[in-house]
Amino acid sequence: MEKILVIGAAGQLGSELTKSLADQFGAEQVIATDLNESARSKFDFCRFQVLDVMNKEGLRNLVKEEKITQIYHLAAVLSAVGEKKPLFAWELNMDSLLHVLELAKEFNLNKVYWPSSIAVFGPNTPKINTPQYCVKEPNTVYGISKQAGERWCEYYFQKYNVDVRSLRYPGLIGYKSLPGGGTTDYAVDIYHKALAGEKFDCFLREDSSLPMMYMPDAIKSTLDLMNAPRQAVKIRSSYNLAAMNFTPAEIYQSILKYIPDFKIEYHPDFRQAIADSWPDSIDDSCARKDWGWKHDYDLDAMTQDILENLPNFKF
Ligand code: AKB
């Protein structure tokens, strides 16, 4: 029987993925962990434990005592915060992944999941339909850490047979948690402001196109990859993954269909340079071919779902 450890469970992805894992494996088989005790209230459906992923011994004891068989390692410093605290971002993003990969090797874990990002691409990468394999020269600490992390994942798979799987997420948009320091987070915040009847100050230019994905698709892609047979997972660095691409002007137009008096202003800040270094759109044909990836949500379907559900959601 599988025993699943989720690290960084209270973040944007973890808040929703942990519930899906509990639904799939049974609530008693899942342990959610996060740095802060205050996250406990999010996990009334499964066990919760405070865990600092940088505490190598604490993590090792938990894996050993609980006979963990799979780790979902979601803790990371994202792009915008990473540029403010570069050395901290590097240390947390890299050391924590290496701790997890070492434990996977030592305890012969069945599977490890680790998210990568479109941030592995850089200004010299082809911007339109960015291929799986191409030049990657990321110029953010977050992107550099994700690129290095991908190489480590492939290394542990090839040298030690660790079954580690990974996706290069586009910007993830969900309404069940608040944004956590990313460049694509404007596309989460904008819905909160629209529903609060406030004007939205956008920190990106109106024509800044980025690859994006609605959270239910992100959860589906993660579970599909993790449930795929081992031989189907041919890429052991990280898979390109896509659903939709849009600019701030386009998401604004999509919201206007429901909230016609919503106002936006554009005040690009340091995050514009980060967005400019990332692709406009992604070629994810390897994921579609290898393990049957297919997205469900486009921009308008996402807008409708968020505007219907966010007002009733309790944080
Ligand atoms: C960020 O904006 O930092 C993240 C990402 C694209 O990985 N959402």
Q: How much distance in Å is there from the Cα of 182 to the middle of ligand 1?
A: 5
CA torsion sign for 309, 225, 113, 94 is negative
142 belongs to the catalytic site: yes
Q: How much distance in Å is there from the Cα of 108 to the middle of ligand 1?
A: 31
| Distance between CA atoms of residues 171 and 169, nearest Å | 6
Would you state the pLDDT for residue 315?
Answer: 74
Query: Which segments in the chain show pLDDT lower than 50?
Result: none
- Going from N- to C-terminal start, the domains of the chain cover 4-170+215-240, 174-212+244-312
> Which option is the CATH number for 4-170+215-240: 3.40.50.150, 3.40.50.720, 3.40.47.10, 3.50.40.10?
3.40.50.720
Would you state the pLDDT for residue 250?
Answer: 98
Would you state the pLDDT for residue 259?
Answer: 98
Distances from the Cα of 189 to the Cα of 19, 175, 184, angstroms: 23, 9, 10
Ligand 1 atom nearest 170 alpha carbon: 6
Residue type, 48: F
Q: Tell me the backbone φ, ψ of residue 144, rounded to 5 degrees.
A: -65, -40
pTM of the model: 0.97
Burial label for 150, CB within 10 Å (0-12, 13-18, 19+), is buried
**Cα separation of the two ends of the chain:** 33
Would you state the pLDDT for residue 25?
Answer: 98
Residue type, 214: Y
In the chain, the percentage of residues whose pLDDT exceeds 70 is 100
Q: Which of helix, strand or coil describes residue 72?
A: strand
Would you state the pLDDT for residue 314?
Answer: 78
pLDDT digits (tens, 9 = 90+) for 176-214: 988 889 999 999 999 999 999 999 999 999 999 999 999
Residue 315, both tokens:
């944080």
Ligand 1 atom nearest 115 alpha carbon: 7
CATH superfamily to which 174-212+244-312 belongs = UDP-galactose 4-epimerase, domain 1 (3.90.25.10)
